[in-house]
């Protein structure tokens, strides 16, 4: 499993608002926790609501600053978010993988 390639594909799909490609990278039972807004989203349906509201809805583009591999299944990503109602916000994604799919995302602004 080449996690770096998976992450690059995930960001490319996100920035293109390509929901079909974006969800190919998630496990069907994945969990996304956004501690900045205090919400947790479960499965493709819940994460789709989050993605449509906060990424598509705000025209959010995300740039990877750096990736730290914690082990063979967990990564820590520093990123910059740029959108319609905000500019250059620093944030973090903590991703956990299983079988080449994202099973958990924890994200927050710095």
**In the predicted structure, residue 1 carries a pLDDT above the cut 80:** no
Confidence of residue 4 (pLDDT cuts 50, 70, 90): very high
- What is the arithmetic mean of pLDDT over 4-9? 96
Q: What is the mean pLDDT of residues 93-98?
A: 98
What would the DSSP string read from start to end of the chain?
A: --HHHHHHHHHHHHHTT-HHHHHHTEEEEEEEEETTTTEEEEHHHHHHHHHIIIIITTT-EEEEEEEEE-SSSEEEEEEEEEETTEEEEEEEEEEEEETTEEEEEEEEE-
The whole-number average pLDDT for the span 78-105 is 95
Calculate what percentage of the chain has a pLDDT beyond 70: 100
The 10s digit of each residue's pLDDT in 43-73 is 999 999 999 999 999 999 999 999 999 999 9
Does the structure show a pLDDT above 90 at 7? yes
Q: What is the pTM of this model?
A: 0.93
Structural domains for the chain: 3-109 (3.10.450.50)
């Amino acid at each position: 499993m080449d996690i770096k390639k998976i992450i690059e594909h995930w960001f490319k799909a996100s920035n293109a608002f390509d929901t079909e490609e974006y969800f190919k990278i998630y496990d069907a039972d994945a969990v996304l926790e956004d501690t900045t807004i205090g919400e947790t989203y479960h499965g493709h349906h819940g994460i789709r609501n989050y993605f449509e509201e906060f990424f598509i809805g705000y025209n959010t583009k995300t740039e990877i600053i750096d990736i730290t591999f914690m082990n063979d299944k967990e990564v820590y990503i520093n990123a910059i978010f740029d959108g319609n109602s905000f500019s250059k916000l620093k944030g973090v994604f903590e991703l956990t993988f299983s079988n080449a799919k994202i099973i958990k995302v924890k994200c927050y602004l710095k």
